[in-house]
Amino acid sequence: MEISLRGQTTWMEVFLISRPEAALATDVLPNSEDRLAVIVPAFKSHHLRVMLESFVAQTDQRFRLYVVDDASPEDLEPIVAPFRSQLDIVYRRFPKNLGHRSPVSHWARAIDLSHESWLWVFSDDDVVSPDCVEAFWAARDIHPNGLCLYRLQADIIDESGQRIPHSIVTNYPSEQTWDQHIQALIKRNNTQLVVIQNIIFPRSLYVSQGGFEDYPKAIWTDVVTWPRWAQVAGFHTLAGGRVSFRSHAAGYTGSTLHQGGDRSQLIRLATPAFKDICALYTRVGKKPPRWGLLNWFARIFRYGSRPLSKSERIAASTSLKEIWPDWPIVRETVFWWHASRPLIRHNRGIQFLALRGMRSRPR
């Protein structure tokens, strides 16, 4: 069986693509040169082809794409196969699913398949603009020590690929420290979308920092991991390129936060993450911006803005007490202010009175 891949092809690559079940993590592509590995932990098939097409369109093809199947119930290999003649691509299927229990564990074994010195963990349903890889290599030598988080601008798209109205369109500064990143994130007019998919990072940093923070469902993993790593490396925003992050009902955050599902679990999952953000400050001898973090926590769960249900209010109040055991009066005042705003906005009686007041104004 002869398989052609773009770039140098070894007998090991051919064997592994034709017989992925025979591969061990230490066997794949022994390649340590200064190259970029795009790691795609794959599970869903619906947008996989569109994602791959966006990498075919890259103006700079200096990367190797790893599609790592997390024991998906869908057959992903036939989707990947046509791209083998267009991309330097490796497909590997694992027989045991890890993502359901810990997506971060699956990301780790996917990264272990690669040997390139630069890593970009992507997803099976997002897309990139054609100049992303080109922008990365153009900026590669800006930080000679190699310790840098290269960040792409990002936006949020829906199921059909259209930008979601009123959603965040990022405007990252060119250079940013970890503290500046958090301070910008908690501002009311935040334009700092935080996702795993828009950061390219050195393998050496990944290893030295012990990998990604492992939270259930990987919710908040990016929010804590990037500033923790940036305490060592800092952020540099690339001059070109954009990642479009897809928010839809099939995604975990889409089904809970954006599509009207029960947000109680999502709220509870925030508790350890916010405590860890505070710990980033204490470990360098700084006071965490608790006021800003408290307001950010409260604002997150009224995006959209249907009122919090009773169970969601209880979950949010309980989480806040655990994150901030002090400041009870201020904490509860801020919480109820944010919790009541959607309630007021959706109250028909208040809407009617507000409308009457607007109509009765003298022109």
pLDDT tens-digit series, residues 152-207: 999 999 988 899 888 888 999 999 999 999 999 988 788 888 999 999 999 999 99
**Nearest-CA neighbor of 303 among 336, 341, 334, 273?**
341
Q: Kindly report the average pLDDT of the chain as a whole number.
A: 81
The token pair at 313 is: 């209010």
pTM here is 0.80
Contacts 24+ apart (CB under 8 A), 164-169: 164/247, 167/247, 168/192, 168/193
Instruction: Render pLDDT for 58-106 as a digit per residue (tens, 0 to 9).
Output: 999 999 999 999 999 999 999 999 999 999 999 999 999 998 889 999 9
pLDDT of 258 strictly over 80: no
Q: For 293-351, write each residue's pLDDT tens digit.
A: 877 877 776 544 566 777 877 887 788 778 777 777 777 777 777 666 655 555 566 55
Structure tokens of 294? 């408290």
Rounded (5°) CA angle 224-229-233: 145
How many angstroms separate the CA atoms of 169 and 318, rounded?
32
| pLDDT confidence bin for 216, thresholds 50/70/90 | confident
**What are the angstrom distances between the C-alpha of 303 and each of 35, 168, 260, 284?**
39, 11, 11, 32
* String of DSSP letters for 279-302: HHHHTTT----HHHHHHHHHHHTT
Spatial separation of the C-alpha atoms in residues 317 and 304, rounded to whole Å: 19
- The confidence score (pLDDT) of residue 89 equals 97
By three-state DSSP, how is residue 329 classified? helix
For the segment 211-226, the average pLDDT, to the nearest whole number, is 92
C-alpha distances in Å from residue 57, one per residue of 129, 130, 340, 346: 8, 5, 47, 45
Query: Poorest-confidence range of 3-7, 47-51, 124-128, 136-140?
Result: 3-7
Residue 307 burial (CB < 10 Å; 0-12/13-18/19+)? Answer: middle
